[in-house]
A and B are shown apart, each in its own frame.
Chain A
Amino acid sequence: MDLSIIIPLYNEEESIDALYAEVTAAAEGLSPGSDFEYELLLVDDGSRDGTRAKLRELCARDPHVQVVLFRRNYGQTAALQAGFDHARGRVVITLDGDLQNDPKDFGLLLRTIDEGYDVVCGWRRDRKDKMISRRLPSMAANWLIGNLTGTRIHDNGCTLKAYRGDVIKRARLYAEMHRFMAPMMSLSGCRYKEVEVNHRARQFGQSKYGISRIWKVFLDLLTVKMLLGFKTRPALWFGLLGLPFLFATLLSFGISVYRHMTLLPSMKYSMVFPSVTILFAFAFVHLILLGIFAELVVKVGDYQEIESILPVEDQGGTTV
């Protein structure tokens, strides 16, 4: 199997026929004449409209199609994960079900993977979405992600991405980490590249994201930053987190001593600054202890394993 195309679908009844036609045409056209094999993995994320019935129809018609139906709505990361779990292709491409991504970009993505990359991210440079509600927040988020994680990607939110099949199957994907695919995968030593892809205005339905996800993205980003930051040494990282508290302890202690030396006896016995000193010191010690506990967690978990996702001879990402 050369290519698996994964499309998560949630209430896409209107667009599904056009989507199927376009994707199939693009996949068939990739290398005409050769025995290029592809599969189309459609993951239904608990749709409530006629999507499921349409998927059954497609499945009965086309042997390239494989359909995974979820019991309820689990979100895009889970849908992608299910796709990766069922994918058999050497290369895996993901795209949105709303036809805003252009299947004609498949060829470019495949070629870039073959240049020796593990992840190729689409960049919707000329994005056809609303400025205020979609593009500005997205630009801010990408700027922040790039600066905090060091993974300079213009468009983390673009679903159109290509992965090497064996690599993505071992990737850690959970919660809503699909927004941080490149940073998360760079954590395990994957090579990534960004290519410009076409983006089209929405033809059907409504966008399923709102602006309310900002605080979630922010906290997820903090997680990614931490995971990238501590490099298998969480005790050190938590220690650094505790440094401001150490400074605060010393400062407060200094004030306490100064007051004790200089003030009149009647003022000396105010407990506020000594208490503040104790509280800050307590927080510092607590963070150090948590860091040591985190070492324990990392030791029994498989954090270490990430360094060995790619055997050395695979680092180039070249394919046979």
Chain B
Amino acid sequence: MRAHRSRLEPDVSVVIPVVERYGDLKQIYHEFSAELARLQKSAEFIFVVDDSQRGAVPVLRELQQSGEEEISIVLLGGSFGESAALTIGFDRARGEVIVTLAAYFQVEPRGLGAALAALEEGTDMVAGRRFPRIDSFFNRVQSRLFHSFVRGLTKTGFHDLSCGFKAMKRRVGRELKLYGGMHRFIPVLALNRGFTVREVPMPQRSEDRRTRFHGTGAYLGRLLDILTIFFLMKFTRTPLRFFGLLGVGLFTAGFFIDLLVVAQKILLQMEISDRPVLLLGVLLMVLGMQTLSLGLLGEIIIFTHARNIREYQVSEVLHGAPARLQAS
């Protein structure tokens, strides 16, 4: 139908993962496509629909029939989560720039121009930050606590990782291998791979304040996600530095506790058999040894794969100028 259009590479690929819930997709499409048109950018929209959100497909089909820009719909065969949906969207994106959006009202399209301008200035990724925040007080407090923890742990400066709006150069999206709960930490991961990331404020939509109340349970899951990511970023090649330090610490603590108990028995004739602290010491030593040995096992795993591991990311390789004709 629009086959002739697909040959042209659009300026911007907008990837919208429809995974957990969705709002008025038509409205979102129209607003952002109008803003892109105003910025004189050609665009394609890629909706990646999780199996659980099948209901969105008819609406999108309708949009596909009438839309100006090229719209593709990818329906996943199962529920694979947002990270998988984004990865599939990134793989299909043809534009030089990829923009990701939440499938519900989150930010006003007004900030788009500034984000695209930042990319043109050389930034590799722009992460949206809903600012000023207008949603419920409790949500804001939770979010602040969570983000200050993440900032401290990863030594980054992000304030709103939950914002679905991101703009990036295509190669950044292609390089991030997202799975599990990683989609929430895209800016952190990009920074870790040596890309430059900038946070830009995006005006929050008034509809976003009415969104569901985020349970504290959701944050506990995210906390575990960020701890995993932190571990993988920092200790993938050196698991013993993590497990070993922990293990040696636990073992030493247990060892000294028991040394004290035994010394008291020998020097002060204190009875040893009715002191639970002896048990605590032994327990710590055992736990320490187990932690350490897990780290050693991790080192064996890394060693046996070391030939395939490349730790560095190259930005450029320069070859010396070909030998000029010189009388030397």
Q: Does B4 reach chain A (CB closer than 8 Å)?
A: no
* Chain B residues with CB under 8 A of A226: 296, 299-300
* Chain A residues with CB under 8 A of B240: 219-220, 222-223
Q: Does A298 reach chain B (CB closer than 8 Å)?
A: yes
Chain A 81-112 per-residue mask, 1 if CB under 8 angstroms from chain B, else 0:
11001100000000000000000000000000
Most chain A C-beta atoms within 10 Å of own C-beta, residue among B194, B283, B285, B312 = B312
Chain B 40-53 per-residue mask, 1 if CB under 8 angstroms from chain A, else 0:
00000000000000
* Chain B residues with CB under 8 A of A301: 300-301, 303-305
Q: Is the CB–CB distance between A69 and B318 below 8 Å? A: yes
Q: Does A63 reach chain B (CB closer than 8 Å)?
A: yes
Instruction: Report the Cα distance A63→B323, complex, angstroms.
Output: 6
* Chain A residues with CB under 8 A of B296: 222-223, 226
Within the complex, the shortest CB–CB distance from A196 to chain B, in Å, comes to 31
Instruction: Report the Cα distance A267→B271, complex, angstroms.
Output: 11
Q: Is the CB–CB distance between A272 and B301 below 8 Å? A: no
Instruction: Report the Cα distance A275→B272, complex, angstroms.
Output: 13
* Chain B residues with CB under 8 A of A302: 304-305, 307
Q: Is the CB–CB distance between A297 and B301 below 8 Å? A: yes
Instruction: Report the Cα distance A141→B296, complex, angstroms.
Output: 21
Chain A 29-65 per-residue mask, 1 if CB under 8 angstroms from chain B, else 0:
0000000000000000010000000011001111111
Q: Is the CB–CB distance between A56 and B312 below 8 Å? A: no
* Chain B residues with CB under 8 A of A78: 311-312
Within the complex, the shortest CB–CB distance from B192 to chain A, in Å, comes to 9
Instruction: Report the Cα distance A234→B296, complex, angstroms.
Output: 10
* Chain A residues with CB under 8 A of B307: 170, 172, 302
Q: Return the chain A residue nearest B316 by Cβ.
A: A69
Instruction: Report the Cα distance A97→B223, complex, angstroms.
Output: 41
Q: Is the CB–CB distance between A294 and B319 below 8 Å? A: no
Known: A61-B321, A215-B245, A297-B304. Is A267-B282 also a contact (CB below 8 A)?
no
Q: Is the CB–CB distance between B293 and A82 below 8 Å? A: no
Q: Does A159 reach chain B (CB closer than 8 Å)?
A: no
Q: Is the CB–CB distance between A303 and B315 below 8 Å? A: no
Q: Does B276 reach chain A (CB closer than 8 Å)?
A: yes
Q: Return the chain B residue nearest A176 by Cβ.
A: B238
* Chain A residues with CB under 8 A of B238: 175-176, 216, 219-220
The one of A59, A81, A272, A290 that contacts B312, using a Cβ cutoff of 8 Å: A81
Instruction: Report the Cα distance A85→B309, complex, angstroms.
Output: 12
Within the complex, the shortest CB–CB distance from A248 to chain B, in Å, comes to 8
* Chain A residues with CB under 8 A of B279: 272, 275-276, 279
Using a Cβ–Cβ cut-off of 8 Å, how many residues does chain A contribute to the interface with B?
66
Instruction: Report the Cα distance A216→B245, complex, angstroms.
Output: 9
* Chain B residues with CB under 8 A of A65: 318, 320
Instruction: Report the Cα distance A267→B275, complex, angstroms.
Output: 13
Q: Is the CB–CB distance between B194 and A175 below 8 Å? A: no
Q: Is the CB–CB distance between B275 and A172 below 8 Å? A: no
Within the complex, the shortest CB–CB distance from A38 to chain B, in Å, comes to 12
Known: A82-B312, A222-B240, A272-B276. Is A66-B300 also a contact (CB below 8 A)?
no
Instruction: Report the Cα distance A61→B323, complex, angstroms.
Output: 9
Q: 9 A–B contact pairs at CB < 8 A?
A: A70-B194, A71-B193, A74-B312, A79-B312, A223-B240, A270-B273, A270-B274, A298-B300, A302-B305
Interface residues of B (CB under 8 A from A): 193-195, 237-238, 240-241, 244-245, 272-276, 278-279, 282-283, 285-286, 289-290, 293-294, 296-297, 299-307, 309-323
Interface residues of A (CB under 8 A from B): 46, 55-56, 59-72, 74-75, 77-79, 81-82, 85-86, 170, 172-176, 215-216, 219-220, 222-223, 226-227, 234, 238, 241, 245, 259, 267, 270, 272-273, 275-276, 279-280, 282-283, 286-287, 290, 293-294, 297-298, 300-303
